[in-house]
Amino acid sequence: MTKNPAPLPLLTALVALCAVLGLSVVGSAAPAAAVAGGGSTPFAVTPVPAADGSSRSYFTLDGAPGQTLTDQVVISNAGKQSETLKVSAARGTTSPNTGSAFAGAFAACSGTACWLGRLPSEVSLEPGASRTIPFTVRIPAGTAPKQYLAGITVRPAADPSPVAVGGGSGSKAQAVIINEITVGVAVTVGSQLRTDLRIQGVTGAVTGSTSLLEVKVHDQGQTFVNGTGAADCTASGHSLHFPVGVNTVLPGDSGTAQVTAAGLPAGSSDCTVSIPFGKGTAHWRGSVTVPVAKVVKRVQVAPGVYAAVPPNHVPRWAIALLVTGGVVIVALIAALIVLLLRRRRQRTVAV
């Protein structure tokens, strides 16, 4: 008699299911990709020197609603190759961690970016050459008295070639690193403006094993504001002192200053924060809770680039998948055993 072949479909399904489960678990442990930024910037964007010949790091202009102001910006190429650069107006804003920032360049203008005019869309420069470009600032009629921020942004007209990023052998991740430079254009509308900084709240955080205080501030005045102060906390009967620095915050904006609070333990502490600014001081007092630090493993994925590896645990969805897969595998094995026993009985009867 001819021997019956092994139940190949069942075996194939069993092997395939095991492979899928194995790939699912391995895939969940892969660290997130990291991308490095930076690079040299052979071009520069600066204001023309002041009337007395002194240099200016950014533009400071004063005007009234409906008035048009003029100034000049210098774009230079200090590199060894010709450069064609794109030029655009940008809108000033406050970065999340305080400090001035710019947004909206090379797109339809919004906010203060629309105040800037007569800027060329592109500038071509030979090596070592520079060009002085006049531009205008038109303050809209009805503009409220306060300080405003815009910017002039420059970047290469052609995107550079992609560069390899990430780590590990055989990595094919690539990124296009674009260098941009923005020079600020600060415009003051009105006089006798009010400066007012408020602390909206303080929360605790942790990075690695270091405690942080996150101080949220709001500019309720009409001028740019910044300040340097301190946080004094009491924990387990010990007094701790930490410097607090708030970079520029624009009128009406908010930001969060991160304060390194080394030595502040996890749990609740009583803290007092004071930040002098101009002719006043912002105060806050209350309880701050620092969470328990979680161990985070960091690996180097490229020169100067590090990535955080997720905690060594299996996510819930993977556990559910493993349990379901295990039940299916047991059922398949049971069915295979029953089928083999039936065929053995059939062969025995036939003999």
Domain boundary among 290, 305, 340: 290
How does residue 336 score in pLDDT terms, banded at 50, 70 and 90?
confident
Q: What is the pLDDT of residue 302?
A: 52
Asked whether residue 211 is domain-assigned, the answer is yes
Asked whether residue 233 is domain-assigned, the answer is yes
Phi-psi region of 112 (alpha: psi -120 to 50; beta: other; left: phi over 0): alpha
**What is the Cα–Cα distance from 242 to 262, expressed in whole angstroms?**
8
Residue 313 reports pLDDT greater than 80:
no
Q: What is the pLDDT of residue 102?
A: 97
Contact indicator for 43, 154 with CB cutoff of 8 Å:
yes
- Same domain for 333 and 228: no
| Total domain count, the chain | 3
CA dist 10 to 67, 90, 121, 219, 332, Å?
Answer: 83, 64, 67, 69, 7
Residue 164 reports pLDDT greater than 70:
yes
Asked whether residue 303 is domain-assigned, the answer is no
119: DSSP letter: -
Q: What is the pLDDT of residue 170?
A: 57
Asked whether residue 227 is domain-assigned, the answer is yes
- Same domain for 136 and 59: yes
- Same domain for 75 and 160: yes
Q: What is the pLDDT of residues 192-217, one digit of tens each?
A: 999 999 999 999 999 988 999 999 99
- Same domain for 48 and 15: no
Which residue range forms the structural domain that includes residue 240? 197-290
Domain boundary among 148, 163, 189: 189
- Same domain for 274 and 215: yes
Strand-pair category, 254-260 with 210-219: antiparallel
CATH classification of the domain holding 205 = 2.60.40.10
How does residue 304 score in pLDDT terms, banded at 50, 70 and 90?
low
Domain boundary among 258, 290, 322: 290
Q: What is the pLDDT of residue 24?
A: 34
Contact indicator for 321, 24 with CB cutoff of 8 Å:
yes
Q: How many CB atoms lie within 10 A of CB 152?
A: 27
How does residue 163 score in pLDDT terms, banded at 50, 70 and 90?
confident
Q: What is the pLDDT of residue 259?
A: 97
339: DSSP letter: H
Asked whether residue 304 is domain-assigned, the answer is no
- Same domain for 147 and 276: no
Strand partners, 156: 85
Token pair in block for residue 131: 């060009």
Based on the number of CB atoms within 10 Å of its own CB, is 168 exposed (0-12), middle (13-18) or buried (19 or more)? exposed
Strand-pair category, 59-63 with 181-189: parallel
Q: What is the pLDDT of residue 26?
A: 31
What does the buried/exposed string (b/e) look like for 182-197 if buried means 16 or more CB atoms within 10 Å of the residue's CB?
Answer: bbbbbbbbeeeeebbb
Between 260-264, 315-319, 338-342, the lowest mean confidence (pLDDT) is in 315-319
- Same domain for 216 and 147: no
Q: What is the pLDDT of residue 326?
A: 64
Q: What is the pLDDT of residues 217-230, one digit of tens each?
A: 999 999 999 999 99
Residue 89 reports pLDDT greater than 80:
yes
Q: What is the pLDDT of residue 31?
A: 26
- Same domain for 333 and 229: no
Q: Which range, 19-23, 28-32, 330-334, has the best average confidence (pLDDT)?
A: 330-334
Q: What is the mean pLDDT of the chain?
A: 83
Which residue did the predictor score with more confidence, 26 or 167? 167
- Same domain for 264 and 169: no
**What is the Cα–Cα distance from 192 to 105, expressed in whole angstroms?**
32
Report the pLDDT averaged over residues 295-320: 58
Asked whether residue 306 is domain-assigned, the answer is no
Asked whether residue 224 is domain-assigned, the answer is yes
CA 140, 144, 149, 155 dihedral sign is negative
- Same domain for 84 and 12: no
Asked whether residue 204 is domain-assigned, the answer is yes
54: DSSP letter: -
Q: How many CB atoms lie within 10 A of CB 286?
A: 12
Which residue did the predictor score with more confidence, 295 or 243? 243
- Predicted TM-score of the model (pTM): 0.72
**What is the Cα–Cα distance from 340 to 345, expressed in whole angstroms?**
9
- Same domain for 141 and 212: no
Q: What is the pLDDT of residue 45?
A: 96
- Same domain for 181 and 49: yes
Between 11-15, 123-127, 236-240, 330-334, the lowest mean confidence (pLDDT) is in 11-15
